[in-house]
Structure 1
Amino acid sequence: MGELILSGGGDAKQNQRVNSYFSKLIRHDKTLLYIPLAGDPSHRSYEDSLKYIRNTFNPLGIEEIEMWTELTNKTAEELERFTAIYFSGGSTTELLRAIRSSGFDEVLLSFYEKGGIIYGQSAGAIIFGRSIEHTLEETVHSEKPLDLANGFSIWAHYDSKDDGSIESYDSILALSEGAAVHMTKDEMHAIGEVYLFDRGTKQPL
């Protein structure tokens, strides 16, 4: 099985530690695949987003980065040439809709099951949880998340003022900005400030 790096969001400076961790985890002789489809291209174009990602990862030795903005008809074989996949933040449901409607969910699952590494930030992390019922978008949409996070739902941009809201849910991993969890099928390792909420209890991971 593969590995997930799930980040709570924040800017490049906040995520320097997580990005460095990710850089050391992957191969640098293969290309990183970047999928920006959670973002709003009318706010920041995909090309500008790609420039931002290159400016973030190139100094860490990740020099080859390819962006996909269309997921239809992509195959598991095409993903084999990538060292990892990076999903940036934005709208959880828009990203899930793009993945589900194109059939890319099955391709992505195959990549993960074959040992692939996936890094998701904010919305790009939430999609891998068990549920998105705790997000504001769920009141409008009901896209089914990918459920690869060992039975946990993901709360991004966590702040202690969120505790009252989170405690009404079970099995939540709360990720502060600049923090992440490195997750395999059997283990979870916190990078920065991560909390586990379950049945009204809170504890650091």
Structure 2
Amino acid sequence: MAFNLLNAETADILAIGGTLIMGTEQKRGALVIIGGAEDREGELLVLREFIRTAGGVKARIAVMTAATGYPREVGDEYTDIFERLGAESVEVIHTEHRDDSEREDSLRIVKEATGIFFTGGDQMRIVNFIKGTSLDKVIHNRYEEGAVIGGTSAGAAMMPDQMILGGTSVANPSVDAVSIGPGMGFLPGILVDQHFAQRGRLGRLLAALVLEPAVLGLGIDEDTAIIINGDEFEVVGRGAVTVVDETTSTHNNLEGLLKDEPIALCGVQLHILPHGYRFNLKTHLPRFVEKGKG
């Protein structure tokens, strides 16, 4: 298992062909991807960083409850939290049917939002009710214009173009350990799994990477988030993020494998990154940033 750690100064000047690797010129907004079960009563560390990233006391938040079967209760809970943290405004968008994603009031809320937050629940509900609608288009437009997209649990799983729909917590990966389907496309080429260490999901993430070849797999623990700006993410929270780099793989036995047979996977790199570590999505190199340094 290789672990090439750059210090902040080295990573800041690293360049390829005279062009900085970091995507500092991108106008696109940040992604705040939370592994679920985030603290909602104490220090609120993860949700606090979402609000800070979305504009702090000037943040205008749209809460998306599509994933949950209890939209009113969940919407009210996040409204209370975000208002307590000082957001300028918080409005909830309920999409309990696909037609709800065509409502003019919902489109207006998203167009004015600096942060758009997807709650937990079932990620398939997000895709079924929003993907391909006018609301989907407006959310992606706001993201390209600089709005922050956040999500927890199901709201984290839906971030890639291909998402993990479900599966079993297994020690050894197999074809039937995971199911995959279209996601919302904010994070192409990467797979995300949540509640990661708490539910023992390394096996299913490895299986997903073999079945749906992607550059990286990100397993995010509970009460933990990654904040993606340009080509780099930072880890925030009480747990860790497991990064599986499949690009270094030298072998797998997927060809000819039956669905209940074990997957062999050789040569992948594994990084475990707690709070304060960063990871470059282009160079695939982690680094630790000392407090007070960028």
Matching residue of 1:128? 159
Tell me the distance in 2 between the aligned counterparts of 1:79 and 1:16.
24
TM-score by length of 1: 0.84
Matched, 1:71 2:101: yes
1:1-205 matched pairs, under 5 angstroms: 1-11=28-38, 12-13=40-41, 16-27=44-55, 28-41=57-70, 46-62=71-87, 64-69=89-94, 70-74=100-104, 79-100=110-131, 102-133=133-164, 135-136=166-167, 143-159=181-197, 161-170=200-209, 171-192=216-237, 193-199=240-246, 200-205=268-273
1:10 positional shift: 0.1
Task: Please give the per-residue CA displacement for 1:147-191, whole angstroms capped at 9, x wherever unaligned.
Answer: 222521110110173223322333211000000110123211111
Quote how far apart the aligned CAs of 1:130 are.
3.4
Whether contact under 8 Å (1:7, 1:180) holds in the other structure is yes
Task: Report the TM-score when normalising by structure 2.
Answer: 0.61
> Bigger relative contact order, structure 1 or 2, given CA contacts below 8 A and separation 6+?
1
Evaluate the alpha carbon distance shift between residue 134 and residue 20 of structure 1 in structure 2; reply closer, same or farther with a 3 A threshold. Answer: same
Structure number with greater Rg is: 2
Q: Partners of 1:57 and 1:21 in 2: how far apart?
A: 11
**Which segment drifts farther, 158-167 or 187-196?**
158-167
The change in CA–CA distance for 1:123 and 1:40 in structure 2 (over 3 A counts) is: same
Say whether the 8 Å CA contact 1:32–1:82 is kept in structure 2: yes
Distance across 2 between alignment mates of 1:15 and 1:121: 17
Write out per-residue CA displacement over residues 56-96 of structure 1, whole angstroms, 9 at most, x where no aligned residue.
Answer: 22221125211111321458665332121111010111111
Secondary structure in 1 matching 2:127 = helix
Structure 1 gaps, min length 5 = none
Q: What percentage of residue pairs aligned between the two structures are identical?
A: 20
The 8 Å contact of residues 14 and 178 in structure 1, kept in 2 or not, is answered as no
Q: Against the structure 1 CA distance between its residues 134 and 204, is the aligned structure 2 distance closer, same or farther, given a 3 Å change threshold?
A: farther
Distance 1:30 1:177, change over 3 A: closer
Report if aligned partners of 2:162, 2:181 keep a CA contact under 8 Å in 1: no
The structure 1 segments of at least 4 consecutive aligned residues displaced by more than 4 Å after TM superposition are 73-78
Contact between 2:51 and 2:59, CA under 8 Å: does it hold in 1? Answer: no
